Amino acid sequence: MIDLIFISQFIGVSGVTVMGYVAPLIISLGFIGSGISNGARIKTAPFLGAGDIAEANEIFSNAVILGG
């Protein structure tokens, strides 16, 4: 909400319109990143608990590559 106030004061109506179009895209990218990180955390935890650091590192590396 504060972002919209500042954008409307400095840029105007066109800035608010662009913000309206871009906000769902940013939220979607955040949702995808959250899903990747939560999935990697769930997959990595059992291997860390068992002491299999190599497998945990592989899962973490794949998540970083997928996120990038």
CA distances from 3 to 19, 37, 39, 57, 68 (A): 9, 27, 31, 39, 27
Residues above pLDDT 90, as percent of the chain: 49
Q: Would you state the pLDDT for residue 38?
A: 93
Angle between helices 13-50 and 53-67 (to 10 degrees): 170
Q: How confident is the model at residue 27 (pLDDT cuts 50, 70, 90)?
A: very high
Segment holding 13, helix H or strand E: helix 13-50
When pLDDT is averaged across residues 22-34 and rounded to a whole number, the result is 91
Q: Do 43 and 34 contact (CB within 8 A), yes or no?
A: no
